[in-house]
Amino acid sequence: METTATILHADLDAFYASVEQLLDPMLRGKPIAVGGGVVLAASYEARAFGVRGGMPGRKARELCPQLIFVGGNFSHYQRLGDAAIKMLDDFTPLVERISIDEAFADVAGCTHLFGSPQEIAATIRRRVRAELGLPISIGVARTKHLAKIASQVAKPDGLVVVDPGTELSFLHNLPVGLMWGVGPATRARLAEIGVETIGQLARTHSGALTRLLGPAAGEKLLALSWNRDPRKLETKRRAHSAGAQSALGQKPAVARVIVPTLLHLADRVASRLRAKARPGRTVTVRVRFADLSAVTRSITLDQPISATTMLAEIAGDLVRGVLADNPHERTISLLAISVSHLWENADLQLELPLGLADEKQRPGTAKGLARFGADRAIDKIRERFGKQAVGYGTVALEAARSVPDEFRELAEKEL
């Protein structure tokens, strides 16, 4: 493992909100939120009142009555995000982009050209501010995990360099919620056993973490708490699965809720698979109930699929199985679909018309081919006239569209 801090994690600050303030100077210095029914992003001025991304718009307005909601300028998000990440490419070819507004860079091989890692990071920050008008925070460390944490500590609009000799003293005083992979649910479970800082996590017995979080998550977090992170940058990352989810609030677990939501999710997932010619064999659904407990079910098919209605029906079968096994659950709060075990250049095995009950869900049958053909026709119309030009017969719930699809697409990994 490297013994010097040469990994940068660059993260644009409150990116979507910052772009809106850049485009409209009247919004600068004011609490703003991107979205409407749901807060997609909040400026730091809004965050000071407790407004956060993913929060219902009504609650956000209660916390901050002067909050200004603005619509999303998605083309500008993409343009400015690309331009900011491109600046990292000017210093090193070892850049791993992990989202529209953040990336890792390894500058070990270019310090003789551009100065120390700290100097390179400072130059990048100056350029992003001068050329794009956006704030960006950068963390510099020996490992990816620590560099990402350092960039969070640097926010807003700062630079933090963690010297290898001070790694654990820096890390162990920080809240455990800053760790990669520790979300609200995991943070709450750790708090139950008195773990609130990374140092407390590091001193927790591995057996206790395994019992609490499972062997994989427990071992991973314990290693990261001691800054053991051997991962290298992946400059050509491709997703191994495609998924989509929809938070529903509190909805009854009935067909009129489930069917249109699954069709909407299947449309988002399958259209991505077709666009990259990467059908998948394993379909997984996740059903979250009112108490936030969740059940996951999956099935691996004989042949890979990428047809929308086929995926929606298979997902529907899985969800019905989950509900049948949990008859006491009457309310759902989230549905999700993912497709994995993706294939490239898959050969389609044609099937004889044997009158099987699931012929419509088999890609090699006449009915399966017809469904795929209809999907491709829809794809072509959308490519020419936009996604809203044509859709499927059942319209998804408004709750499923509370977050615009354009916003979701910005976060999707390359297939």
Residues with catalytic function: 102
Q: For residues 34 and 49, what is the distance between their CA atoms, to the nearest angstrom?
A: 15
Tell me the three state secondary structure of residue 364. Answer: coil
Residue with tokens 């940058």, as numbered in its chain? 233
Q: For residues 49 and 65, what is the distance between their CA atoms, to the nearest angstrom?
A: 10
Tell me the three state secondary structure of residue 309. Answer: helix
Contact (Cβ atoms closer than 8 angstroms) between residue 72 and residue 407: yes
How far is CA 250 from each of CA 60, 188, 257, 290, 399, rounded to the nearest angstrom? 19, 22, 11, 6, 10
Contact (Cβ atoms closer than 8 angstroms) between residue 112 and residue 6: no
The first and second tokens of residue 116, run together, are: 């120390």
Instruction: Find the helix or strand (DSSP H, E) in which 140 lies.
Output: strand 136-141
Tell me the three state secondary structure of residue 107. Answer: coil
Strands 68-70 and 32-35: parallel
Q: For residues 363 and 75, what is the distance between their CA atoms, to the nearest angstrom?
A: 35
- Residue ranges for the known binding site for Mg(2+) are 11, 101
| 221 C-beta neighbours (distance < 10 Å), count | 23
- Sheet strands side by side (includes 32-35): 39-42, 32-35, 68-70
Contact (Cβ atoms closer than 8 angstroms) between residue 117 and residue 8: yes
Contact (Cβ atoms closer than 8 angstroms) between residue 318 and residue 299: yes
Integer-rounded Cα Rg, in Å, for the chain is 23
How far is CA 103 from each of CA 6, 87, 147, 415, rounded to the nearest angstrom? 14, 11, 11, 18
Q: For residues 133 and 89, what is the distance between their CA atoms, to the nearest angstrom?
A: 19
- Residue ranges for the known binding site are 11, 101
What are the two backbone dihedrals, phi and then psi, of residue 313, each rounded to the nearest 5 degrees? Answer: -70, -40
What are the two backbone dihedrals, phi and then psi, of residue 154, each rounded to the nearest 5 degrees? Answer: -70, -20
Contacts 24+ apart (CB under 8 A), 401-405: 401/264, 402/37, 402/38, 402/247, 403/35, 403/38, 403/40, 404/40, 404/72, 404/74, 405/268
Residue whose C-alpha is closest to residue 146's, from 128, 136, 161: 161
